[in-house]
Amino acid sequence: MKNKEVEQDYNKSTESLKKYAKENGFEIPEMLEYKLIPIGYLSIDESFEKGEVSINFLNKLHILWNEGLTLMSLGFHECEFCIDEGNYKNRGRSSSEKELVDRENKVRYKFPKMIFHYIEKHKYLPPLDFIKFVMSCN
């Protein structure tokens, strides 16, 4: 799924939840007011920033991945880039996502486990704001 599709799906479900809460007298949770920023939902049909990340960032992201809840999906996503290169045996494959919340800036970063594969194998460079946020987490 592409970043825009993830964002659109989130906005649809958020608006639906807000409408339900309003119609039924429930308070709208503060988290629904936060902006969702999808990170690392790559597609072979779209270009993406490439570069190097520090080992400290990658280690920190792994630590954050292993903390808290992980969102699971009902199917797998396989790396389109590996398949396009004919790399079927060692292609990236994953079915889970994570969300990190930046309460100070009212942002929710959502990213797939495939982000590790994309960074390590395809030189994906996440947005600088995401990198800074990850590095600032305790």
pLDDT at residue 2, as a whole number: 75
Q: What is the pLDDT of residue 28?
A: 79
Which pLDDT value is given to residue 74?
A: 62
Number of C-beta neighbours around residue 42 at 10 A: 23
Quote the pLDDT of residue 77.
Answer: 75
At 130 the pLDDT is 97
pLDDT tens-digit map of 123-133:
999 999 999 99
Q: pLDDT digits over 102-130, tens only?
A: 999 999 999 999 999 999 999 999 999 99
54-92, pLDDT tens digit by residue? 999 999 999 999 997 777 766 677 788 787 666 666 766
pLDDT digits 0-9 by tens, 35-54: 999 999 998 888 999 999 99
Contact between 134 and 100 under an 8 Å Cβ cutoff? The reply is yes
Q: Locate the DSSP E strands across the chain.
A: 35-38, 71-78, 93-102, 107-112
Q: Where are the domains of the chain?
A: 3-136
